[in-house]
Amino acid sequence: MKKVLSVFFILSVFAFWILGQSVHAGTQDAAPISGKVVETMNSGGYTYALVEKEGKKTWVAVPKMTITKGQSVSFKPGVEMVNFRSKTLNRTFESIIFSAGAIK
């Protein structure tokens, strides 16, 4: 029984550590993210778009889709990840919103 509890404790600590690394200070945005795409790229099954609205730029990641520079977009609210490291892009985003996708 002690062995089972020890394994459970270790797995729990590991899971919380992973979540802390992945969603450091993540927040749930209430409003959709919308604006004009000023930069976009695809990698690792995601489309990354830098969206600008009223001078404010926001990085958004969505499941892979076709987006073009200059296109007006609106994405579902998502979860912010701070200092997110994309291994496939070899890049760290200071802040990025992971959204379920575009609002149709």
Which DSSP string do the residues of 66-98 spell out, in sequence order? ---TT-EEEE--EEEEEEEEETTTTEEEEEEEE
Higher pLDDT, 15 or 40: 40
Please choose, from the candidates 28, 6, 5, the residue with its C-alpha nearest in 3D space to the C-alpha of residue 97. 28
Banded model confidence at residue 20, pLDDT cuts 50, 70, 90: very low
**CATH code assigned at 48:** 2.40.50.140
Determine the Cα–Cα distance for residues 93 and 88; give it in Å rounded to an integer: 13
pLDDT band at 3, cuts 50/70/90? low
In a domain, 21, yes or no: no
For tokens 């802390």, what's the residue? Answer: 20
| Residue 11, in any domain of the structure | no
Above 60 in pLDDT, residue 17? no
Residue 8 belongs to a domain = no
The arithmetic mean of pLDDT across residues 2-22, rounded, is: 45
Residue 60 inside a domain? The answer is yes
Please indicate, yes or no, if residue 84 is contained in any of the structural domains.
yes
CA–CA separation, 75 and 100 (whole Å): 8
Strand order in the sheet with 78-86: 72-75, 33-43, 46-53, 56-63, 91-99, 78-86
Tell me which residue range forms the domain holding 54.
26-99
Whether 24 has a pLDDT exceeding 70, the answer reads: no
- 58 within a domain of the structure (yes/no): yes
What is the reported pLDDT for 104? 82
Position 39 pLDDT exceeds 70: yes
In a domain, 79, yes or no: yes
In a domain, 15, yes or no: no
Domain count, the chain: 1
Do 38 and 72 touch, CB atoms closer than 8 A? no
Q: Is the pLDDT of residue 100 over 80?
A: yes
**pLDDT score, position 1:** 57
Q: What is the pLDDT of residues 42-71, one digit of tens each?
A: 999 999 999 999 999 999 999 999 999 999
